[in-house]
Chains A and B, each alone.
Chain A
Amino acid sequence: MLDWTKVKAGDPIEPHVVGYRVWRYRLGPPLCLLSWCLGSSELWPTDAPFQSDKEPNLASPDGSKMSHGIHAYLTRKELQRQFGDLASLLCYRGIYSEPDNPARWDGVVAGTVTLWGISVEGPRGYRAQFARIASFDEAHGTRADEALERLRGLYLHEYG
């Protein structure tokens, strides 16, 4: 839930937006959805919105280049421009492929998210505080069609 005490004077308040992004999936069992960041084993929950562990930042106060927030692109075209052919991303699967590695993955899935909370926005996309999955549009990898159907069943429902 948005913490209104973090809102600064002068922050414009606007409605939520939809952005385009990519995840990794692992067949498991259980089937899991992981952020695209290759070394990460952070899972997207099925029963709640995903929340960034740090507030999205315009510029790092310590001068580091860490960009916090949930990333998503403005358009599908921009996502494709950044990632190219999604199937070509599968070439990175070998990096974290050990059976006991929590960051291992079997394929990629692209879709859309609804974004809200504190959001930092650039010419190509958003970095937001909260996200809820709005659609899964295509998947590539091991048993991709099955993964796509099961992910839709797991994530595209109303939270109770």
Chain B
Amino acid sequence: MGNIGEPVRRVVRTEPEVPVFTPEPRPETEPQRAPEKQPEKVP
């Protein structure tokens, strides 16, 4: 494609950073605690 002129230098150019989609972290929830067992009533 066309002519860039007589090349005068060789360079190594670094790759641009590509933004990568990262899902938002889920809100942390307290683990549900099992209801404490009531001691059985002894008749």
Mark A residues whose CB is within 8 Å of B.
Answer: 1-2, 7-8, 11-17, 21-22, 35-37, 56, 58-59, 67, 71, 73, 82-83, 114-128, 130, 132, 158-160
Contact = CB atoms under 8 A, between A and B. Distances in A.
B16 to A, nearest CB: 5
Contacts of A35: 1
Given A14-B12, A120-B11, A125-B5, 16 more contacts: A8-B10, A12-B11, A12-B12, A13-B12, A15-B13, A15-B16, A67-B4, A115-B13, A116-B14, A116-B16, A117-B12, A119-B10, A119-B13, A121-B11, A122-B6, A158-B20
Contacts of A82: 2-3
B24 interface: no
Contact of A17 (B2, B8, B13, B20): B13
Interface of B: 1-16, 18-21
Interface centre among A8, A15, A115 (most CB of B within 10 A): A15
7 contacts: A2-B12, A13-B13, A114-B16, A116-B16, A119-B10, A123-B4, A123-B6
Contact of A127 (B7, B12, B14): B7
